[in-house]
Structure 1
Amino acid sequence: MATVSLVWLAAVVGYLPAQLVYVIVSSSVVSAYPRLRRYNYWTYAAFSLLYGGAFYVVAPVSVPFAFRSAYLALVPVGFAMYYADTYAVSRAVGTSLQRDVSHPFSMLPILLVPIPEEILFRAGLAPLIDAFGPVAFGVASALLFGLIHFTFGARDVVVKVGNGIVFASVFVVTGSVTATILVHLGYNLASFHVFSDYSEDLAALP
């Protein structure tokens, strides 16, 4: 059992150094060919999907994809989380969470990334619930989820740790990675340009 635990834990944590290698390589390529910058979201989505897919196939962890129609209500919860984060960050440091995703070409990969991330950092760490309890699971899940967003800076790492706590809580309550994917999807969807004007309005509130 200990060997199995080390296998899945190493597979999840291994995402961090793998991501670092990806960032170094992609940054070098973009520096040499600046026109490829618009494909950044696509290449990251491909990397994330490949890693998450490989984990799903080889790791000794079952991924619970149970679905209930009630889980669809979690999509607007994700929207609310994004707007709350935007308001809180704007009050704290005077900037918003908006990213350059106004071009429709950038939208699709942002919708795909929640799938491998939730498989890894929620379902992938689920054995911690039985081993150490839901609090330990939530802390580990949130910290790792925050750390993979290091490329956006310390501010986003802190915000994503908070997001990770919510996602982990949803997983503990529902027992389904589908539920966490949906709330994560709502969060990412709220960052699209078509919705971001609302977050700007929130950021302008006193």
Structure 2
Amino acid sequence: PYIYQGEEIGMTNYPFGTLNQVEDIESLNYARETLEKGVPMEEIMDSIRVIGRDNARTPMQWDKSKNAGFSTGQPWLAVNPNHQEINVQEALANPDSIFYTYQKLVQIRKENSWLIRSDFELLETADKVFAYIRKDGDRRFLVVANLSNEEQDLIVEGNVKSVLIENTAAQEVFEKQILAPWDAFCVELTD
């Protein structure tokens, strides 16, 4: 899997307030071109905060100290103000953190060849739900992710044999046929 710097601790996009904080040449060119077309600056900044490449270039947030422990010098780009809450030190101290979830996902990937070498069946689901089944001989695995902050219906057949990873009680999803916001899990199904 691809894991980009900071993704493993849940780093977020920088809340750029003004164009003066932006260094990315593509973002600066985009701003100039769209300003010439009459697009309001706040709308331009909203776009840059979402898709600007500087988001991936801000300093790694190691801890709560000055410059997030990244450097004793002045970083090229500003440190995200949320480094007080989102940083490596905090992630390592919390066994339920995103860091440990990524670690578990990588472990599952290394230990289970069916994730890459088995039959793949994409399931029909609600627009904001991604779900598929992997079939490896007689074994079936279900992977589900609700990619929204709203409940979603999920009609699934079968029963849970074992849970590989979950951020919610997968068995409850099978019973209620409803995914809570951001639910995600991987289970092996019974026959």
TM-score (norm 1): 0.23
> Which protein has greater RCO, CA pairs closer than 8 Å, 6+ apart?
1
> Whose strand proportion is higher, 1 or 2?
2
> Whose helix proportion is higher, 1 or 2?
1
